[in-house]
Amino acid sequence: MDDRIKPGHDDATNQPKLTANAEHIMAGAMPYYITTPIYYVNDAPHIGHAYTTIACDALARFMRLDGRRVKFLTGTDEHGQKVAKSAREAGVDPQEFCDRVSQNFREMTLLLNISNDDFIRTTEPRHIKACQVLWQELEKRGEIYRGSFAGWYSVRDEAFYEESELVDGKAPSGDDVEWVEEENYFFRLAAWQDRLLEFYDANPDFIAPKSRRNEVVSFVKSGLRDLSISRTSFTWGIKVPGEPKHVMYVWLDALNNYQTAVGYPDTKSEEYSTFWPANIHIVGKDILRFHAVYWPAFLMAAGLEPPRRVFAHGWWTVEGQKMSKRLQNVVAPPKLVEEYGVDAVRYFLMRELPFGSDGDFSRHAVVSRINSDLANDLGNLAQRVLSMIAKNCAAAVPQPGTLTAADETLLAASRGLLPRLRVDFAEQAFHRGLEAIWQVVSDANRYVDEQAPWALAKNDPPRMRTVLYVLAEAIRHIAILVQPVVPEAAAKLLDQLAVAPDRRDFAALAGDALVAGTALPKPQGIFPRYVVEKDGEKAGKGG
Ligand code: ME8
């Protein structure tokens, strides 16, 4: 039997009825559209990009395993002054430059085992068309007018700033600003202030975490100004329809990628009607304002639905410092994966910080997570149990006898995980979900110590078989549930339990159980210890 909660239905339409926060617990093929930011191609991918992408991947995988029809999008943001400047500095034509750097981001998705369904580039024809149609729609509805702009602009942030927002003559991000005076087109953002506030009110889960929501609400309450949405002082962008001297403001172009990928402007298409509005855009806190203020305003102004949720996560520093080329402390994903392995990197990033908080990436922290949580706790548990089964149960799933209270307790804890994780993942509290799983890992390790199956092997083999069966079943639950975060290791573990590839989704948690007598392959370690050599500098993977 499947223990998933079935959705209620709206009587009038017979469509599943959504409550603001309960959508996550629904089963069936409910669509789920999730996106990463599209990354600027001015620079190589680093751990910050990896972080957002891995979080989205974990959530996308979770939802797929939970029976949702998922669309997971990532890609690259290729227009604007910043990219044009980087191309110029590299002495390459901007398109060629974009092709090259975008490829690095595509490779990052392969390296990190990212399960995206599409990879969008804003220089693609499908996107250029989508942006031009969006522009025309806004124009038709009287949301755009021509004017002249004079103000501060930060090329690094690709953002306009008010004089009052500058801190010591710089952008609030600390980046340089330049004075810009141009004939531009404007979007009537100010007119959307009240409707945005009403929208936030009616959709309390739209911006997360809560503290960030409050920041956005006060920013909007403090008054919005119309937004310049075209530029004339450079050409690397999408041309404004009928105005070839103007290119669109890179954020209008970039945000619309989320719609392009589901078929906009064809709003009648199966893809668009299935997946729009997006369930969640996960972004860093640096770009929340664009996603939570400008984006819903553009969409509402064009008569389109805003996304359901925007989650702004925190910021990583490296060994206590801001990452910067000057400090040469930029952490490149290939180096990390080479050193620690892809699953360890994914696990560390999802477990170390409450999603939403800032944190520090240090070698020490990574190594201690690998050795304690992965190698000692989960790795050891699996190794102990599987090798005892191999040795004492003729390498097959043992036959359990009558279950004791202790057995039932461990099995109940394992079965209790999925409903908890549904809540944690719906709230993007990945760390909390992992903590709950590791609580069961530690219950299982304690159970091994208490039941001492090695002693039972001598004096009570039937009881030993029951204990090992209960443990194998607990490990099956754990392995299925850790798939979103550590997909490779989970697959190895499930292979070792001879769980068929099509019996690894969440429906199989309650629907299946290990079958006594099933032959098991030879056990192999899944999480090696990370050995740090004595001088603390050189390190290598241990066995
Ligand atoms: O802003 N810690 O692209 P971008 C955590 N193209 N996350 C980090 C990080 C760090 N130190 N550094 C970067 C853009 N990130 C626009 C987005 S979307 C329509 C357009 C992550 O290449 C985080 O997700 O500057 C942040 O929001 C994103 O990279 C910024 O990437």
Measured CA distances, 480 to 489, 501, 510 (Å): 11, 11, 11
d(CA 359, CA 362): 10
Mean pLDDT confidence for 151-168 = 92
Q: How far is the CA of 37 from the centre of ligand 1 (A)?
A: 7
The answer, yes or no, to whether any atom of ligand 1 lies below 6 A from the CB of 51, is: yes
DSSP-derived 3-state class of residue 346: helix
Do β-strands 227-228 and 178-187 pair in parallel, antiparallel, or remain unpaired?
A: antiparallel
Averaged pLDDT for residues 440-453:
98
Higher pLDDT, 333 or 535: 333
Q: Is ligand 1 within 6 A of the CB of residue 398?
A: no
How is residue 345 annotated by DSSP? H
Determine the 3-state secondary structure of 378 from DSSP. Answer: helix
Q: How do 539-541 and 530-532 pair as beta strands?
A: antiparallel
Q: Which amino acid is at 166?
A: L
* Res 407: pLDDT: 98
Count of alpha carbons within 13 angstroms of residue 29, beta-carbon side: 2
What pTM was estimated for this model as a whole?
A: 0.93
Confidence grade of residue 13 (pLDDT, cut at 50, 70, 90): very low
* Structure tokens that stand for 304 in this block: 């389109």
How high is the pLDDT of residue 244?
A: 92
Q: How far is CA 321 from CA 329, 349, 353, 379, 470, in A?
A: 8, 17, 17, 32, 46
Residue 54 has pLDDT above 90, yes or no: yes
What pLDDT band is residue 173 in, cutting at 50, 70 and 90? confident
Q: Which of 38, 41, 43, 52 most suits a substitution to test ligand 1, by most atoms within 8 Å of the C-beta?
A: 52
Question: At 192, phi and psi to the nearest 5?
Answer: -95, 0
* Spacing, Cα 222 to ligand 1 middle (Å): 26
State yes or no: pLDDT of 10 exceeds 50. Answer: no
Task: Give residue 326's pLDDT.
Answer: 75
**The pLDDT value given to residue 12:** 38
pLDDT at 543 over 70: no
| Beta pairing partners, 541 | 530
pLDDT tens per residue across span 347-397: 999 999 999 999 999 999 999 999 999 999 999 999 999 999 999 999 999
Rounded distance, CA 144 to CA 464, Å? Answer: 74
State the pLDDT at residue 328.
Answer: 83
Protein residue whose Cα sits closest to atom 31 of ligand 1: 39
Question: What's the pLDDT at 534?
Answer: 59
Greater model confidence, 4 or 285:
285
CA distance 522 to 228: 64
Instruction: Inform me whether the pLDDT recorded for 16 exceeds 70.
Output: no
**Burial status of residue 16 (CB atoms within 10 A of its CB: 0-12, 13-18, 19 or more):** middle
User: Could you tell me how far CA 243 lies from the centroid of its own chain?
Assistant: 38
pLDDT of residue 323: 87
| Beta-bridge partners for 150 | 181
Check residue 43 and give its pLDDT: 84
Residue 185 banded pLDDT, cuts 50, 70, 90 = very high
DSSP 402: S
pLDDT value at position 18? Answer: 38
**Is it the case that residue 540 has pLDDT exceeding 80?**
no
Side chain identity at residue 144, one-letter code: I
Query: Residue 336 pLDDT > 90, yes or no?
Result: yes
* Cis before 265? omega within 30: yes
For all residues of the chain together, what is the average pLDDT? 92
Question: How many CA within 13 A on the CB side of residue 330?
Answer: 12
- The whole-number average pLDDT for the span 150-174 is 91
- Average the pLDDT over 457-478 and give the result: 98
- Range of weakest confidence among 37-46, 431-440, 469-478: 37-46
* Residue with CA closest to ligand 1 atom 12: 48
CB of residue 289 inside a 6 A radius of ligand 1? no
- CB 262 within 8 Å of CB 126: no
